[in-house]
Amino acid sequence: MDLGLTGAATAVTGGSKGMGRAVAEVLAAEGARVAVMARGREALDETVDALRAAGSPDAVGLGVDMRDPASIAAAFAEIGDRWGSLNVLVHTIGPGAGRFEQLDDADWEEAFALGTMSAVRAVRAALPLLRAASWARVAMFSAHSIQRQSPILVAYTASKAALTSVAKNLAKSLAPDGILVNAVCPGSIVTASFTENLKDVFATEGLDAGDPYDVMRWIDQTFHQPADLGRAGLPDEVASLTAYLVSQRNGYVTGACVNVDGGSDFV
């Protein structure tokens, strides 16, 4: 299936690791020009090398702190100087976990800065470029936890619920411009950061934090939140769906919150 992404100008926030990196790789393999944004230079440079090898000779890594409005504006200004317009924005930034009684005001503000406001600021900065393109799509990474609450994700989930509301609202306001906007709602996905954060906890229970079946076993035992497929997901599985949503091939999906969760809705 031709997604119509060849030559498209695309930007992926959080594109140097995890699901953002997987999305960037799919876009590059489809022949898109890809700008990845993150803080760490080393991971950005390594990602750009991989994207160029995958089929995106114009790939670029932009150092951005998505908590900083000026940094976000500067990154999109650079894309404007480079490409003049933007077909695709994929925003994958999200905050950390925490239980209600562990979080003070600063933690809540950080959660909303990363979970909601970084998307608002990215779309605000990208909008003139998206409007300047002949076609445009936006995808924002929400989370399945907005539909199935977890006590360890209280501020995280609140910020993602707000983000999803913004995505749905933008889908309405940008429909007359032909700009399609969707939220992607991953379930439990085995990324390197996920594995790193939980490897000690898993080790005490004789489980492997990098194994999708062990991850789902632990989630089921700990939170009683299994998935029908019996395993956690992989970054590529989220990236394929995202690439479709932001492609020209997607002509009619907008304002949706699409689950990629191995079947968790009714369990």
Ligand X SMILES: NC(=O)c1ccc[n+]([C@@H]2O[C@H](COP(=O)([O-])OP(=O)(O)OC[C@H]3O[C@@H](n4cnc5c(N)ncnc54)[C@H](OP(=O)(O)O)[C@@H]3O)[C@@H](O)[C@H]2O)c1
Contact set with ligand X (CB under 6 A): 14, 16-20, 38-40, 43, 64-67, 92-94, 114, 141, 143, 186, 188-189, 191-194
**Is residue 156 among the annotated active site residues?**
yes
In Å, what is the CA distance from 153 to each residue of 80, 111, 223?
Answer: 36, 10, 12
Query: DSSP for 141-161?
Result: E--GGGTS--TTBHHHHHHHH
Helix (H) or strand (E) holding 259: strand 257-260
Half-sphere exposure of 152 (CA within 13 A, CB side): 5
Nearer to ligand X, 72 or 133 (CB): 72
Nearer to ligand X, 133 or 238 (CB): 238
Nearer to ligand X, 82 or 148 (CB): 148
Nearest distance from C-beta of residue 97 to ligand X, angstroms: 9
Nearest distance from C-beta of residue 262 to ligand X, angstroms: 11
Nearest distance from C-beta of residue 65 to ligand X, angstroms: 5
Query: DSSP for 20-65?
Result: HHHHHHHHHHTT-EEEEEES-HHHHHHHHHHHHHHT-TT-EEEE--
Contact 154, 115 (CB under 8 A): no
Catalytic residue (one of 156, 213, 244, 252): 156
Nearest distance from C-beta of residue 145 to ligand X, angstroms: 7
Nearer to ligand X, 67 or 131 (CB): 67
Neighbours of 226 (CB within 10 A): 18
Residue for token digits 């440079």? 45
DSSP, collapsed to helix, strand or coil, labels residue 214 as: helix
Nearer to ligand X, 192 or 203 (CB): 192
In Å, what is the CA distance from 248 to each residue of 24, 36, 228?
Answer: 16, 20, 31
Nearest distance from C-beta of residue 42 to ligand X, angstroms: 8
Angle at 134 between CA 22 and CA 28, to 5 degrees: 20
Q: Which residue numbers are catalytic?
A: 156
